[in-house]
Amino acid sequence: MRKIYLIFSFVLMISTLFAKDQVDYLTAIPKEGDGIMSLLRRYHILDSKCDVSLFYELNNLKKNSALKSGKKYKLPIYLYEYNSVSIRSTIGDNNWDKAVRIRDWNLLLQDEKTKPTDFRSGIKELWVPHHELYCDEIIEIKLENTEEGKKRIFPIFGKKHQSTPLKSNKLKGQVYYIVSGHGGPDPGAIGTYGKYKLCEDEYAYDISLRLCKKLLEHGAVAYMITRDENDGIRSGEILPCDNDEVTWKDQKMFVKQKPRLLQRSNAVNKLYELHRLSGAKHQTMICIHIDSRSVSQRADVFFYYHPSSSKGRIAAKKIHSTFKDKYAIHRKGGKYSGTVTARDLHMLRETKPTSIYVELGNIRNPSDQKRFVLESNREVLAKWLFEGMTNFAP
């Protein structure tokens, strides 16, 4: 049987997430005669291979490198300002046992005079070793049998679609993050379809699920960052609006837009770092939205990338090219007006993977509505997005 182990403990609070490239590490100057092992042993982090690997990476060292006298080295220990409430709320993780371990480790280093101050008083500096935040969350995927047709169960797709056989390994080693737009307290754009209300987040989510399933079927690691555990891939034209979506993994969405976007970008970035440290070379994020314009205005499928991202531009153009080719075959007259444009959007600017943002049409326009109201069209959109992303993959 194929075994898949996903080990995660991932509850984040927005007030304590650090922004991209703004991590504060503890630094240390080696004592006379110190080597790497003795330095890390002094901080009781030598037993974690994850900590040791990060130490080499942070300081651009090769194995068995000697430490230079008087030089300051970054340690795999994060610096937090203790909030005087609890360790859990300070680091944004509700795991009680983890908080106890961090507390005891800080007190041990304080007793040994390695840590000069108590985190509960004075400057209130809390030290958190890297392995407590990340290493227990690294994904281990063991494929003991690579025969096609073996069942793999992903409940997020719903009972009817949860079985996801491995059809190929052409995307093995590649990681994808699918962020469907809005959700929770924000339904996004709203259209009217006869007597029914169409909510952007529901249709973007269904298409996102279909895309995610296709990626998994071909050996990729894929995450639904916006999640609704009881929806799954749905049939029919009318997808009822609800507000029970969460952010990976089980984070209640914030009401205000900016914290909600930060919540998503930080979720992506944390997973990105886990996979980067475990050797992933190709990581891609796609945000899926549906636009809202005047009822009379039709809108084709548009793609966006961040102005500073050459990889994002290439990825967006590859997917755009796929759509253009498909419409040339399947649309009467073959005309397609969708474009690729640079935009300084939060989810493109603040996320670390190669990132693309897509608008699938105008939710208020009757003609555009058929593009995602019809289940067969939702499946086609997911298929074309998959093919475009596959064309981009190395």
DSSP 190-233: EEEETTEEEEHHHHHHHHHHHHHHHHHHTT-EEEESEE-TTT-S
Place of tokens 């670390």: 352
Q: Where in the chain is the domain with CATH 3.40.630.40?
A: 156-392
pLDDT tens, the chain, 394 aa long: 333 323 222 222 222 233 333 468 999 999 999 999 999 999 999 888 888 989 999 999 988 889 999 999 999 999 999 999 999 888 887 788 889 999 999 999 999 999 999 999 999 999 999 988 877 544 333 332 333 445 788 999 999 999 999 999 999 989 999 999 999 999 999 999 999 999 999 999 999 999 999 999 999 999 999 999 999 999 999 999 999 999 987 889 999 999 999 999 988 998 888 888 778 889 999 999 999 888 878 788 999 999 999 999 999 999 999 999 999 888 887 788 899 999 999 999 999 999 999 999 999 999 999 999 999 999 999 999 999 998 765 5
Among residues 325, 322, 12, 351, the alpha carbon closest in space to that of 175 is found at: 351
Token pair for 365: 């326009």
DSSP state of 136: G
Residues 355, 269: contact at Cβ < 8 Å?
Answer: no
pTM for the structure as a whole: 0.68
Cα 389 to Cα 12, 147, 179, 207, 339, distances in angstroms: 29, 25, 15, 14, 16
User: Distance between CA atoms of 340 and 304, rounded to whole angstroms?
Assistant: 6
Q: Which amino acid is at 162?
A: Q
**CATH number of 156-392: 3.40.50.11540, 2.40.50.100, 3.40.630.40, 3.40.50.300?**
3.40.630.40
